[in-house]
Amino acid sequence: MKVKINGKQEDFRTVWMENSVIFMIDQPKLPHKFEIYRSKKYRWTANAIRNMIVRGAPAIGATAAFGMAQAAFEFKGDNFLEFLGHMDNAKKIFKDTRPTAYDLFYSIDRMMNGMRPATSVEEAQELLKKASQRYADESAERCRRIGEIGEKLIEKGSKILTHCNAGALGCVDYGTALAPIRFGKYHGREPFVFVDETRPRCQGSMLTAWELSQEDIEYSIIVDNAAGYFMRKGEIDLIIVGADRIALNGDVVNKIGTYEKAVLARENEIPFYVAAPQSTFDFSCKTGKDVRIEERDEEEILYMWGVDQKKEFNRVRIAPDGAVARNPAFDVTPVEYVSKIITEKGVYDPEDLPG
């Protein structure tokens, strides 16, 4: 992704690994500070996923893949059986970080399978190093293809609504929902983006808005409750969102609030597209009802977080003392509200996904 540093655009990935150190764009600091978080231990990497220093389904998948390689290199000694026990423990720690995004589980299982041919600690370490890098490169490539394929759904001057951040920051690069928009911009389609604020963590107003501004893509942030107003006024031509998990029947699990956007889109006859790589498809879930929805801490709702006039990070309470809140992080959009799913292999009817 392009990031403006001292007026110059530089290329960054959201997450990468060098010599067993994992580097991540520190997302809770955005849009106010662009900093890189360095994780030297796999348990720190797992915490970075849990605390959302890195977030978004494909990004956490790639981070966990690197984390598994990191865990392998942290093992001291050459007892292979003990090593396998250590890796099994690392697998559990990573799988326990966030429950909903399927990419996380997919990538960890791929790493465990990837080291299967190894008969020594050293061999397993080398296999995991290569497999994790391959995983991240493939993940970026899948999103690049989604961009190329999805761009064709955008007409010149299209006004597009998106929810949460399904951009490069939520992936290794390019994004899922934002990839077609990015490629549309590169090829003169002049997209305009309505950015849902996406309470409570404001991934829209903090991350998507930042990402679009890095590439000079025009946008307006709107509060989550305003999407219906703009749809009814005819100001939105299409909607593109990402996904955290897609079930066998085509039900889509994504950031809380996606479902109501899809229902409103149907009511207003606006196409509702979901962009996702195949690492997000979980065909062991027959429908969205089988997916575990993460419930996060109520503090995310009771407080707001940002910088003050002195540019210092501060948290302020916005709810009465003693107030309680419920904070589901995702919801399920039933397949009948989804117009098409944009994947790296093509654009599909949601009931007809490639296996």
Residue closest to 132 by CA, chosen among 41, 63, 55? 63
* Residue 255 within binding range of ligand MRU, rule CB under 6 A: yes
166-205 footprint of ligand MRU as x/- string (CB under 6 A): x---xx----x--------------------------x--
* Active-site residue, from 244, 297, 308, 331: 244
Size of site (CB under 6 A) for ligand MRU: 17
Query: In angstroms, what is the minimal distance from the CB of 203 to ligand MRU?
Result: 5
* Residue 301 within binding range of ligand MRU, rule CB under 6 A: no
Query: In angstroms, what is the minimal distance from the CB of 329 to ligand MRU?
Result: 5
For ligand MRU, the closer CB: 58 or 147: 58
Going 234 to 238 to 242 to 248, the CA torsion angle's sign is: positive
11 is catalytic: no
* Whole-angstrom distance, CA of residue 313 vs CA of residue 19: 32
* Residue 118 within binding range of ligand MRU, rule CB under 6 A: no
Per CB under 6 A, the segment of 51-59, 77-85, 224-232, 334-342 that binds ligand MRU is 51-59
* Residue 154 within binding range of ligand MRU, rule CB under 6 A: no
Pick from 90, 121, 329, 335: which binds ligand MRU (CB under 6 A)?
329
* Phi/psi at 55 (5° precision): -155, 175
* Residue 243 within binding range of ligand MRU, rule CB under 6 A: yes
- Contact present, 98 and 50 (Cβ < 8 Å): yes
* Whole-angstrom distance, CA of residue 1 vs CA of residue 214: 9
| HSE, side-chain direction, 13 A CA sphere, residue 326 | 4
For residue 297, what are its two tokens? 């801490």
To the nearest 10°, report the CA torsion of 173, 178, 184, 190: -130
* Whole-angstrom distance, CA of residue 42 vs CA of residue 317: 33
Binding site for ligand MRU (CB under 6 A): 55-58, 101, 164, 166, 170-171, 176, 203, 242-244, 254-255, 329
Catalytic residues, which ones? 244
